[in-house]
Amino acid sequence: MKIRPQKALTFDDVLLVPKRSPFRSRKDVSTASRLTNSITLNMPILSANMDTVTESEMAIAMARTGAVGVLHRFMSTEKMVRHVKRVKRAEGFLVDAPYTIGVEANLAQVERTMQYHEVGGLMVVDADGTMVGLVTRRDILLAPDSSASVQSVMTPPDSIITATADVTIDEARALLHQHRLEKLPVVGEDGALVGLITAQDVMQRQGTTNSTKDSRGRLRVGAAIGVQSHDIERAGALLDAGCDFLVLDIAHGHADHCIDMIKALKANHKDVQIVAGNVATREGARELTEAGADAIKVGIGPGSICTTRIVTGFGVPQLTAIMDSYQGIVDTGANIPLIADGGIKTSGDMVKALAAGADTVMIGSMFAGCEEAPGAPVVRDGQKVKIVRGMASLGAAIGRKKAESEEVTPKDGDDDWNKVVPEGVEAVVPYRGNVSEIVYQMVGGLRSGLSYAGAATIAQLHENAEFIEMTAAGVRESNSHDVKRV
Ligand code: XMP
């Protein structure tokens, strides 16, 4: 047994010491940061892979703000793939594998296919994949006979305006406007369908500049996976659907099976970007970096709904965990980014996490009350609230079993919920409206923080940061005090 000599700190133990600032405006600083060395975020925030925080709706909203969402994994692979596809299709200028229907289909099949894919139009193709028509919801809306052939209502090929594969966004916009179209199929030289441009996508792409996009103009999204053998297959399906990065989601990431999983994924998928964790120590961060991770996620027990530290006695206060893990990455010389996961209550906490060595932060509960988080708001004691639950809570364990029953066996093969040992709780959080407003406030706080640090970038914040410890009186003085808040 040994006791580490160092005293461990968390956000409320410290403040950052103000430095001389050259900036005249908060606009003079940049909040852009690395998620991995090949993915940059304009807003350095990830929404957590929790089933009360991130599914496709949250991921779309996050990516539109310039941040990014990580889909939780408590659902079947098929459902997860659908969420990934929903994000990737939400805004891309060119949808490169538009949904199709065979020319033999009837109208009932057309409707079912549209509902399944949640789209308002399908390309009609023959057995060779050549486009022979276009059918939209309008074409089938009032059709009297659902057994009629799609050919009876579709727009025939000679009436369809198409674009070629080299079309620019401005040309597409002009064509859509000139012919008053909603959909513009893109065809190759041989007439085969290669993509689809929609009016909505063109509008959205031109409207949002900060958003987090891939090289094809599609919103970026991450997805959580476990570290069991079936997760290799799941990873393949998610990557095929266009998922931009994978997050290895295990509570104790400094573990043989996590290291093995990083190596297996890297061996199977050449360009895969892997976020590995969670760790809270220099050794943990160093070993996951050496195994080939592209970013390290840090946090054992700081989360608002976590009880790991109470149940197991393990954990490291989050500011120290970030600082130590940062050193572990530096030890390897690999220069990969660090994600501070959990315990962020305010924009000030985020600035402290970034100053301590993080490049981005992951947030759960603060986003769980947002409109875009899964689940509907309810009214409790006259206040609108939403539910948040730890992914290791009993409620999440039961939800997971239901959602994944077709592919995951219950933990230890045991169906008896009395034997589950939860390491998280369920709670209510106030309803908070749209997530973009919270991200705006958080990033506004970060801009001010950078200015106080005399830092133009988050990398400079790391260099300039000087922390000072507070007493309990300092903590009290830091919040509003001796006034009655309205
Ligand atoms: P916040 O504080 O932002 O933290 O709500 C979100 C992070 O908490 C972690 N998490 C858990 N940790 N038991 C734990 O010990 C749980 O049940 C649990 N659920 C989530 C996770 O890292 C998340 O991103």
Greatest mean pLDDT range, 124-138, 202-216, 293-307 = 293-307
User: Of all residues in the chain, what percent carry a pLDDT higher than 70?
Assistant: 96
Ligand 1 centre to CA of 155 (Å) is: 51
Residue nearest ligand 1's atom 7 by CA = 342
* Average pLDDT across the chain, whole number: 91
The confidence band for 447, taking pLDDT boundaries of 50, 70 and 90, is: very high
| Ligand 1: nearest atom to the Cα of 342 | 4
Torsion of CA 394, 399, 400, 401, to 10 degrees: 90
Relative to the CA of 278, which ligand 1 atom is closest? 22
Which residue minimizes the CA distance to atom 24 of ligand 1?
Answer: 48
In ligand 1, the atom with minimum distance to the C-alpha of 422 is 17
Pocket test for ligand 1, best of 10, 49, 50, 53 (most atoms within 8 A of CB): 50
Of ligand 1's atoms, which has the minimum distance to the CA of residue 343? 2
Residue 13 has pLDDT above 90, yes or no: yes
Structural tokens at position 161: 């305006």
Residue nearest to atom 20 of ligand 1 (CA): 390
| Among 308, 316, 325, 391, residue to substitute to test ligand 1 (most atoms within 8 Å of Cβ) | 391
How high is the pLDDT of residue 98? 84
**Which phi and psi (to 5°) does residue 83 adopt?**
-65, -40
Query: Where does 374-449 show beta strands of DSSP type E?
Result: 378-380, 383-389, 426-430
Ligand 1 geometric centre to CA of 36 (Å): 21
Tens of pLDDT along 256-290? 999 999 999 999 998 999 999 999 999 999 999 99
Q: Does residue 306 have an active-site annotation?
A: yes
Is the predicted pLDDT of residue 407 greater than 60, yes or no? no
Are 453 and 16 within 8 A, CB to CB? yes
Q: Which amino acid is at 301?
A: G
User: Per-residue pLDDT for 243 more than 80?
Assistant: yes
Could you tell which of 73, 297, 305 is best to mutate to test the pocket of ligand 1, judged by most ligand atoms within 8 Å of the CB? 305
Give the C-alpha separation, 14 to 465, whole Å.
12
Among protein residues, the one with the nearest Cα to ligand 1's atom 9 is 303
Query: For residue 394, how far is its CA from the centre of ligand 1 (angstroms)?
Result: 14
**Atom 12, ligand 1: residue with shortest CA distance:** 306
Kindly report, residue by residue over 118-151, the tens digit of the pLDDT: 888 888 988 888 888 899 888 888 888 889 999 9
Query: Choosing from 243, 258, 306, 370, which is the catalytic residue?
Result: 306
Distance from C-alpha of 253 to C-alpha of 436, rounded to nearest angstrom: 31
3-state secondary structure of 479: coil
Please state, as a whole number, how many other Cβ atoms lie within 10 Å of the Cβ of residue 120.
13
For the CA of 362, the closest atom of ligand 1 is: 24
384 — alpha (psi -120 to 50), left (phi > 0) or beta?
Answer: beta
The residue whose CB lies within 8 Å of the most ligand 1 atoms, and thus the one to mutate among 49, 306, 308, is 306
Q: What is the 3-state secondary structure (H, E, C) of 149-171?
A: EHHHCCECHHHCCCEECCCCHHH
CB atoms inside a 10 Å sphere around CB 109: 16
Q: Where are the beta strands (DSSP E) in 25-80?
A: 33-36, 39-41, 45-47, 68-71
**Burial of residue 88 (number of CB atoms within 10 Å: 0-12, 13-18, 19+):** buried
Band of residue 410 on the pLDDT scale cut at 50, 70, 90: very low
Nearest to 120 by CA among 97, 138, 105: 138
Q: Measure 473 CA to ligand 1 centroid, in angstroms.
A: 29
First to last CA, the chain: 51
Question: Distance, CA 166 to ligand 1 centroid (Å)?
Answer: 45
Distance from Cα 423 to the centre of ligand 1, integer Å:
9
Cα 307 to ligand 1 centre (Å): 9
More confident residue, 192 or 296: 296
> What CA–CA distance (Å, rounded) separates 263 from 306?
29
Which ligand 1 atom minimizes the distance to the CA of 392?
17
Distance (Å) of CA 37 to CA 34, 232, 243 = 6, 23, 16
Cα 390 to averaged position of ligand 1 atoms, centre (Å): 6
H helices present in 210-317, as ranges: 229-240, 256-268, 282-291, 308-312
Query: What burial class does residue 248 get, using C-beta atoms within 10 Å of its C-beta: 0-12 exposed, 13-18 middle, 19+ buried?
Result: buried
Sign of CA pseudo-dihedral 387, 392, 395, 396: positive
CA neighbor of 50 nearest in space, from 389, 481, 423: 389
The binding-site residues of ligand 1, defined as CB within 6 angstroms of any ligand atom, are 48, 50, 278, 299, 301, 303-306, 308, 341-344, 362-366, 390-393, 423-424
pLDDT tier at 408 (50, 70, 90 boundaries)? very low
223 vs 265: CA distance, rounded Å: 14
Q: Calculate what percentage of the chain has a pLDDT beyond 90.
A: 66
Nearest CA to ligand 1 atom 19: 390
| Domains assigned to the chain | 11-91+210-478 (3.20.20.70), 100-199 (3.10.580.10)
Q: Report the distance separating Cα 361 and Cα 439, nearest Å.
A: 12
The alpha carbon of 361 and the centre of ligand 1 are apart by a number of angstroms equal to 13
Distance of alpha carbon 302 from alpha carbon 38, whole angstroms? 28
438 pLDDT more than 50: yes
